[in-house]
Structure 1
Amino acid sequence: MWWIYALLSAFFAALTAIFAKVGIKGVDTDLATAIRTVVILLIAWAIVIFKGGASSIGGLTRQNWTFLVLSGCATGLSWICYFKALQLGKVSQVAPIDKLSVALAIILAVVFLKETVSIPQAIGALMIIGGSVVLIFA
């Protein structure tokens, strides 16, 4: 079941790139990111409230809060950089290079979370890195 959500994530990320490229024409990318963030904020809270998840907010630990805030900061910085890259470059180059985050996440998971990586996963990560290098210099 996880892979269905992963594929949907990839599909919506692809739509994000196309919609953003059109939407940021002549717009400050930081403003565009702020508008996008408000929309995401409203949708996320609507889903939480609809599913009844808001009641569990009191059970979050200090560690939960710390790392969720750090994740939010990283997401915001990622979006700001992504929108600027889309404004300056082609979607066909920016979006795939942005997916270098997959290989970087694998590396960081090994280093910081002590996750193990299979040979096929390592080969896939190396292929993503190689593909990103090709796209940067293409």
Structure 2
Amino acid sequence: MTHAFPSPWLFWALASAAFAALTAIFAKIGVSGVDSDFATMVRTVVILLVSATIVAVAGKWQQPSTISGRTWLFLVLSGMATGASWLCYFRALQLGDAARVAPIDKLSVVLVAIFAALFLGERLSAVNWAGVTLIAAGAVLVGYRA
């Protein structure tokens, strides 16, 4: 069976990018006249309801007791990092232009490459590191107000 995309992960990564772009636009409109922390809470509740519905409908519920302590730890840490990121992102959107905030937020791509190399032992080629450098430069240039 052939796929329309070279790899299934590529489809999901591109979908993630598209939804992230819509997130910035919708959030920028949504945070006007509302406290950014409250807006983040509303977003979080919506995400909880949507993800719970997907798990229920798809029959993907898993007994929490079947999950290892290490997995729980890192899922909780990931959730805490996500929450902190969202709080900061909504505050930045409330204070700045979406077209400048989103690219700076995407410096996370650069940080993921660095952290993955340092902590996960992942290897990137020289060409990959050149791309990471270009992403960093591009984000800074888009975020810069001339």
Calculate the TM-score normalised by the size of structure 2. Answer: 0.90
Which deviates more, 123-132 or 27-36?
123-132
**Contact 2:103/2:143 (<8 A) preserved:** no
Aligned to 1:36: 43
Matching residue's letter, 1:134: L
- How far has the Cα of 1:56 moved from its partner? 4.3
C-alpha separation in 2, matches of 1:14 and 1:135: 15
Task: Identify which range, 42-51 or 67-76, moves more after superposition.
Answer: 42-51
**Aligned partner of 2:105: which letter?**
D
Letter in 2 for 1:95: A
Tell me, what secondary structure is at the counterpart of 2:57?
helix
Q: Considering fraction of residues, name the structure with more helix.
A: 1
In the aligned structure 2, how far is the partner of 1:64 from the partner of 1:15?
A: 30
- Work out the CA distance in 2 between the residues paired with 1:56 and 1:122: 41
Check if 1:125 corresponds to 2:137: no
Stretches of structure 1 that go unaligned for 5 or more consecutive residues are none
1:1-138 equivalences under 5 Å are 1-138=8-145
Identical pairs, percent: 52
RMSD of aligned alpha carbons? 1.1
Distance of 2:16 and 2:62 partners within structure 1 = 26
Unaligned runs of 5+ in 2: 1-7
Q: Which string of whole-angstrom CA distances, capped at 9 and with x for unpartnered residues, describes residues 10-67 of structure 1?
A: 0000000000011110100000000000000011111111222213433210000000
4+ aligned runs moved over 3 Å, structure 1: none
Deviation larger for 109-118 or 49-58: 49-58
**What is the distance in 1 between the residues matched to 2:94 and 2:36?**
8
For structure 1, which segment, 128-137 or 18-27, has the greater mean C-alpha deviation from structure 2 after superposition? 128-137
Distance in 1 (CA, whole Å) between partners of 2:125 and 2:63 is: 36
How far apart in 2 are the matches of 1:124 and 1:57?
40
TM-score, length of structure 1 as denominator length: 0.95
